[in-house]
Amino acid sequence: MKRLCLLLATLTCIATLRANIRSLTIRVKGMTCEICATNVRKQLKTMKPVASLDKVDYTDGTVQMTLKPRNKATRVSLEKEFKKRISKAGFTFEKILEVEETK
């Protein structure tokens, strides 16, 4: 019985990590002007899972984006790539604020 519970818990975790993320909002620290937003936009728009950057707002430090359908990205892989790309633009990735997943 313990093995069955452990197996179910593991499968649930894997399914959660592999959920197909449709759109998300992230927080970026350090943007102070439109040029900052443009630099972040340039770094993020070339990411494979990104279909479109819907809004890059330097006033509240958020970026809203839509991901391509059936992308293979996980929350962990996206966070890693955001850190790298946003750092390259000269800013700091803080966290993912909102995630919308396909049903």
pLDDT at res. 10: 56
With a cut of 50, say whether residue 45 has pLDDT above it: yes
Report the mean per-residue pLDDT for the chain. 87
Q: Which domains does the chain have, with CATH numbers?
A: 20-101 (3.30.70.100)
pLDDT band at 15 (very low <50, low <70, confident <90, very high): very low
101/96: higher pLDDT: 96
Model confidence over 55-87: pLDDT tens digits? 999 999 999 999 999 888 889 999 999 999 999
Q: How far is CA 70 from CA 25, 65, 66, 103, in A?
A: 18, 15, 12, 12
Are residues 57 and 63 in contact, defined by beta-carbon separation less than 8 angstroms? yes
Distance of CA 30 to the CA centre of its chain: 18
Model pTM score: 0.77
CA-based torsion, 91, 92, 95, 97: positive or negative? negative
